[in-house]
Structure 1
Amino acid sequence: MEGKKVAFVPITMGFDLTQGWMAAVERDAERLGYELTIRDPNWNVDAGAQAIEQLINEKPDVLIVHNNDMQAYAKLIRRAMDAGINVIQMNLKTPVNSDAFVGGTGTMSG
């Protein structure tokens, strides 16, 4: 991963779950030598969509997206993948199959 660019768009950085994820990603960035960009939409879906659109234009090697809901970023995730960006969805998966999904399936929850 050395020299690669990774971008992370959480739903917000304002709570401990995403702060914990960010700490892990930052630790890996340092260990593996990749550049990390964070775009915090602060719970605003439109701001998140704008951040993802900007990142598609910037062409990071990997885009990590924490979806607000199943549909909000689906088309943008498809566009990112069509642009050759590896996409990882976190916590909530859209109907678009990205390169990876990190989160629960709900079948073993509750």
Structure 2
Amino acid sequence: MQGVTTTGGPTILVLTLFVGVFVSIALAGVIAYRAYRGYQRTRSTRLLALSAGLFTVVAVPKLLNLVLSTLQYPADTTSTAAAATRLAGLCVVLYAIYAGD
């Protein structure tokens, strides 16, 4: 049986980073879900935009990084895609803050 090998540093560090990524994705999902439930109760489009924006700022870039890196896309492509989704998410959050109902 072979052990786990890593190229990014000590195994415990790599595993800790992966756990951190998955925990942050899960927390972003929980927050987005709670905001979406608030939207369902109030029908406030601002809460819906906040839900989508927060998920797009936190979870989507991390998922893109994970998927594109696994598929061995170039690092600049992965970084650009993640940055673009963060920017889009921040625009949606700004809409949620400044848009009128």
Shorter-chain TM-score range: 0.3 to 0.5
TM-score (norm 2): 0.35
What's the TM-score once normalised by structure 1's chain length?
Answer: 0.32
Q: Choose between structure 1 and 2: higher helix proportion.
A: 2
Greater strand proportion: 1
Q: Which entry has the higher C-alpha Rg, 1 or 2?
A: 2
